Amino acid sequence: MKTLEYTPRILTLISAGKKLEAVKMAKDLYGLSLHEAKEMIDSYRPGGLNFYTTFELNTKSDYTPEIAKLINEGKISEAVRKAKTTYGISEENAQKMIENYPQSKTNTKPVESTTPVRQENQRTVNTNEDLLPYCCPNCGSNQVEKSIGGKLEHAAAWGGAKLFKSAVLGDYGGLTGGAENEIIKEEVPFQQVCNYCHRTFHASKSQIEAGKYSMSRRESARLTEAYNRKLKAVKDGEVNKIKEEASKKLSRIVFAGAALLIGLLIIATCEHETTGAFGLPAYTWTFMFSCVLIFFGLLGVVVEGTGYFGKLSEANEIDKMPIQSYAINHKA
Ligand SMILES: [Zn+2]
């Protein structure tokens, strides 16, 4: 077991979303396998621990407190014997191990870091409690997910990035069974969609993990409020437009109502019957005309009236709708 530090340089690479470079650095710096280096970089969380504990590195060279005590007491040959039996190593190697003790980097105490990064992270930990890990940069909503349509685009970009990264960093495929492909994949931006403001944008998994899209609850609420204000203007505009359409219907109702009224007036005052051809009784032209007026007037009032009240209730419904429900089908 060994404690490794996320050095400032590694942290800079992680926060820039350059995961593969960070993995390579950890691998080269600490002599880890690519798998373990990836694990180390994946385990990092902003504001979290500044150390990674690996079980991969050879622990056999660590000096047990017992051996350290023997060395400190000057009992060198005893310490060599102890190292030989404890670690099952040759006399020669045990000798070397004991000789190396004062200069050795591998002692039993974990390495303590005093870099400013640690203090900075320590500070963030205290204020991080209400940090939302992934929010829409436009409206602050955390209803964000990978867009379904982004898959093909991502596959193409991944293919391109693979070629490029392999050229830059060397191809590890043969050694790792393709683990580096996964890392590159996580670095390639994927189209993301916000289910609140319906915007799409590009973000990679490693950028999200590095906290590029994280927001405090307060910042998220501020953005959402600003977006809701814009959306409210759209909503009010829609309500007004529907009310305008309703008022156009109102003028048609007045027109149809007037026709109906005139028809009723005529029918009430005119002669209904007259003597027609061959002396048979017949309806007067005025009577028939008033009937037509009444028929179409009534039809107009009913049809336009229904439409008018329909529009009014539609406008009313949208007007009363909470902005969160309105956001489902609209964007600002
Ligand atoms: Zn959004």
Whether the predicted pLDDT of 199 surpasses 80: yes
- CA-wise closest residue to 304 among 263, 264, 247: 247
pLDDT at 93: 72
CA of 136 to the centre of ligand 1 (A): 5
Q: Is the pLDDT of residue 232 over 50?
A: yes
Whether residue 221 lies inside any domain: the answer is no
**Does residue 110 sit within a domain?**
no
**Quick one: pLDDT at residue 102?**
54
User: Does 258 fall in a domain?
Assistant: yes
Q: How many distinct structural domains can be found in the chain?
A: 2
- Ligand 1 centre from 201 Cα, in Å? 9
Read off the DSSP letter of residue 63. P
Contacts of 216 (CB under 8 A, 6+ apart): 127, 130, 131, 132
Rounded to the nearest whole angstrom, what is the distance from the C-alpha of residue 131 to the centroid of ligand 1?
17
Question: Distance from the CA of 224 to the center of ligand 1, in angstroms?
Answer: 8
Distance from the alpha carbon of residue 281 to the mean position of ligand 1, in angstroms: 77
The C-alpha atoms of residue 291 and residue 297 are separated, in whole angstroms, by: 10
Tell whether the model's pLDDT for residue 176 goes beyond 60: no
Report if residue 290 sits inside a domain. yes
**Pair (261, 293) in one structural domain:** yes
pLDDT, position 50: 84
213, 247, 267 - which closes a domain: 213
Residue 256 lies in a domain: yes
Cα(226) to centroid(ligand 1), Å: 11
pLDDT tens string 14-47? 888 888 788 888 888 888 877 788 889 888 888 7
Q: Is residue 105 part of a domain?
A: no
Give CA 155 to chain center in angstroms: 19
Ligand 1 center to residue 234 CA distance, Å? 16
pLDDT tens digits along 136-164? 999 999 999 999 989 999 988 988 888 87
- State the distance from the centre of ligand 1 to the C-alpha of 154, rounded, in angstroms: 21
Model confidence pLDDT, tens digit, residues 276-310 = 888 888 999 999 999 999 999 999 999 999 999 99
* Residues facing 288 on adjacent strands: none
For residue 330, the CA-to-ligand 1 centroid distance in Å is 12
Cα–ligand 1 centroid distance for 252 (angstroms): 43
Expressed in angstroms and rounded, the spacing between residue 223 Cα and the centre of ligand 1 is: 9
> How far is the centre of ligand 1, averaged over its atoms, from the C-alpha of 243 (Å)?
29
Mean pLDDT, residues 181-186 taken together: 80
**Per-residue confidence (pLDDT) for residue 29, from 0 to 100:** 87
For 167, the domain range is 133-213
- Binned at pLDDT 50, 70 and 90, residue 106 comes out as very low
Distance separating alpha carbons of residues 242 and 245, to the nearest angstrom: 5
The CA 182 to ligand 1 mean position distance, Å, reads 28
* Distance in angstroms (rounded) separating the CA atoms of residues 265 and 263: 5
68 Cα: distance to centroid of ligand 1 (angstroms): 59
| pLDDT confidence bin for 215, thresholds 50/70/90 | very high
pLDDT-based confidence at residue 179 (cuts at 50, 70, 90): low
Residues 147 and 207 in one domain: yes
Mean pLDDT of the chain: 83
Q: Answer yes or no: is 182 within a domain.
A: yes
Q: What is the Å distance from ligand 1's center to 142 Cα?
A: 8
Confidence of residue 65 (pLDDT cuts 50, 70, 90): confident
CA distance 108 to 78: 19
* Distance in angstroms between the alpha carbons of the first and the last residue of the chain: 54
Min mean pLDDT across 67-81, 146-160, 167-181, 244-258 is at 167-181
Residues 263 and 321 in one domain: yes
138 alpha carbon to ligand 1 midpoint, in Å? 5
From ligand 1's centre to the CA of 65, what distance in Å?
A: 57
Q: What is the phi-psi region of residue 178: left when phi exceeds 0, alpha when psi lies from -120 to 50, beta otherwise? A: left
Q: Give the global pTM.
A: 0.57
**Is there a domain that residue 78 lies in?**
no
% residues pLDDT > 90 (the chain): 43
Name the range with the highest mean pLDDT among 67-71, 90-94, 179-183, 223-227: 223-227
Q: How far is the CA of 194 from the centre of ligand 1 (A)?
A: 5
- CA dist 19 and 314 (Å) reads 52
CA of 295 to the centre of ligand 1 (A): 54
**Ligand 1 mean position to 155 CA, how many Å?**
24
245 and 308 both lie in a single domain:
yes
Task: Compare 303 and 209 and report the one with higher pLDDT.
Answer: 303
Estimate the share of the chain in helix, then strand, then coil, as percent rounded to the nearest 5: 65, 10, 30
Cα 140 to middle of ligand 1, angstroms: 6
